[in-house]
Amino acid sequence: MTRPTAAALERAAQEIEHADALDAPSNTLADLLQRVIPPGPVRDAARGAQLGHPAHPMLVTVPIGAWVGSNVLDLTGGDAKAAQRLVALGNLAALPTAYTGAADWLATSGPARRLGFVHAVLNYTALGVFTASWLARRRGHRVRGAALGLSGTTVLAASGWIGGHLTYRLGVSVDTGEPEQPTTSAPDAMAPPLGTETGTAQ
């Protein structure tokens, strides 16, 4: 990656971090997820408390690997049925992956909450595109399915960059999955927490 490109991506991330307009939809999503992933043992398990390591980073390798594998088969003229099965595997694996990511996201606030919201939206979009890809393949339209698959991977790449920024710049999902702590970043480290949990809150 060239230096100008990296600088542009960094500026984009900072703009997202400070986009107050994302607070309302972020809070709406958080309210919904609070019901699906309630505080306590369920959320602790989703965050990897029993493992002593965040669960989300381990799970993301499965859908990404399956989806990219299907792209490779499409581009090289590989077995169409195998490509369809890889897309299906990626779609199924994305569900628990999203669940654990949401559990981590609920422990964030401020800039990390906003950036994580965009990360989640991109991931859900990628899953939707790959679902459409699987349906096209199932109906015998491999070319259409392959085009959708490549589009989904493009969205996934953008989401992956944001996910890396969340981890390596903001420190999200770098703890051991023990009791939640708010995650913030300068210069908004003292911004009031968003969501309904005490001092904290995919």
**Residue 102 maps to a domain:** yes
What's the total number of domains in the chain? Answer: 1
**Residue 7 maps to a domain:** no
CB–CB of 57/167 below 8 Å?
Answer: yes
pLDDT score at 61: 94
**Residue 140 maps to a domain:** yes
Structure-token pair, residue 179: 């009791």
Q: What is the dihedral of CA 154, 57, 201, 30, to 10 degrees?
A: 50
CB–CB of 165/114 below 8 Å?
Answer: no
**Residue 197 maps to a domain:** yes
DSSP-based three-state secondary structure for 108: strand
pLDDT score at 25: 96
pLDDT, one tens digit for every residue, the chain (202 residues) = 677 777 887 888 889 989 999 999 999 999 999 998 998 998 888 888 888 778 888 899 999 999 999 999 999 999 999 999 999 999 999 999 999 999 999 988 898 999 999 999 999 999 999 999 999 999 999 999 999 999 999 999 999 988 888 877 776 655 544 444 443 433 343 333 333 333 333 3
**Residue 187 maps to a domain:** yes
Report CA 15 to chain centroid distance, whole Å.
19
Which residues lie closer than 8 Å to 31 by C-beta, 6 or more apart? 195, 196
CB–CB of 79/101 below 8 Å?
Answer: no
**Residue 5 maps to a domain:** no
What's the Cα-to-Cα distance from 32 to each of 87, 106, 168, rounded to whole Å?
Answer: 28, 11, 27
Domain that holds residue 116: 42-202
Question: Half-sphere exposure of residue 188, counting CA atoms within 13 Å on the CB side?
Answer: 23
**Residue 19 maps to a domain:** no
